[in-house]
């Protein structure tokens, strides 16, 4: 028997909690930097504060751009989104240089659903690379594959069960909201999600986003 469905309002609340959590650090750094700048009179320290403010502002803007495509309606893009927008969003998310990005997407444009699935899988893969590493992103004909490799790769059980649609409403947490969104979007297309075991520092995530005929 499939697990009970999660109410849209409950899922929206979990997703908002996830967004607030991810934005808290760079926005908090901005606030702290402004407070330090107001009390600092040494020119060298003020310059350093301005550098930190710039870094925090860029990190905040990059996260917002990513979340807009990954979770929002992507208004202004029409039914399809230029794949370069997705690449730029991931590059912004990985802007600290801790994780290298390999891009092997043959499609010049992808549906909004496919873009959301791709971005959220990339987000999950990046979170799994605890000590950094490399993410390779591939997509062709509705098939999306993400390969994450690093010295330490950890995919929490709650993310795995959410990706596979095995989560119950009371067990879903804000941390797993992106994984549940992937499951829901892929299910609507009658596709499937594949999650490999973590072996020798490698994790593979895959999804089919091209709508299939009913009954198949």
The pLDDT tens digits of the residues spanning 4-13 come to 578 888 888 9
Cα of first residue to Cα of last residue in the chain, in angstroms, is 19
Q: Which of 139, 47, 52 is nearest to 87 (CA)?
A: 139
Q: Sorting pLDDT into bands at 50, 70 and 90, what band is 168?
A: confident
Torsion of CA 139, 68, 95, 181, to 10 degrees: -50
Q: Is the pLDDT of residue 216 over 70?
A: no
CA 148 to chain centre: 13
Highest mean pLDDT among 6-10, 140-144, 169-173: 140-144
Q: Is the pLDDT of residue 213 over 90?
A: no
Model pLDDT, residue 39:
85
| Tokens 């069960």 belong to residue | 161
The pTM is what? Answer: 0.89
Contact between 146 and 136 (Cβ < 8 Å): yes
The pLDDT tens digits of the residues spanning 53-105 come to 999 999 999 999 999 999 987 655 678 899 999 999 999 999 888 999 999 99
Residue by residue, what is the 3-state secondary structure of the chain?
CCCCCCCHHHHHHHHHHHHHHHHHHHHHHHHHHHHHHHHCCCHHHHHHHHHHHHHHHHHHHHHHHHHHHHHCCCCCCCCEEEHHHHHHHHHHHCCCCCEEEEEEECCCEEEHHHHHHHHHHHHHHHHHECCCEEEEEEEECCEEEEEEECCCECCCHHHHHHHCCCCCCCCCCHHHHHHHHHHHHHHHCCCCEEECCCECCEEEEEEECCCCCCCC
């Amino acid at each position: 028997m499939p697990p009970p469905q999660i109410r849209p309002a409950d899922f929206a609340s979990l997703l908002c909690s996830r967004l607030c959590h991810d934005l808290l650090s760079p926005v908090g750094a901005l606030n702290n930097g402004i407070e330090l700048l107001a009390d600092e009179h040494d020119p060298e320290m003020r310059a350093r504060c301005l550098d930190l403010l710039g870094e925090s502002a860029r990190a905040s803007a990059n996260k917002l751009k990513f979340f807009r495509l990954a979770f929002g309606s992507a208004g202004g893009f029409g039914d399809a989104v230029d794949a370069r927008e997705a690449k730029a969003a991931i590059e912004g998310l990985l802007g600290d240089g801790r994780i290298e990005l390999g891009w092997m997407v043959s499609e010049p444009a992808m549906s909004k659903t496919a873009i959301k699935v791709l971005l959220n899988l990339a987000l999950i893969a990046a979170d799994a690379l605890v000590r950094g590493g490399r993410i390779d992103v591939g997509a062709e004909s509705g098939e999306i594959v993400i390969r994450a490799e690093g010295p330490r790769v950890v995919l929490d059980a709650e993310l795995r069960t959410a990706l596979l649609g095995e989560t119950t409403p009371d067990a879903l947490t804000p941390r797993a909201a992106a994984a549940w969104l992937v499951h829901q979007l892929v299910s609507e297309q009658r596709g499937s999600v594949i999650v490999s075991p973590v072996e020798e520092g490698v994790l593979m995530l895959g999804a089919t986003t091209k709508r299939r005929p009913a009954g198949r």
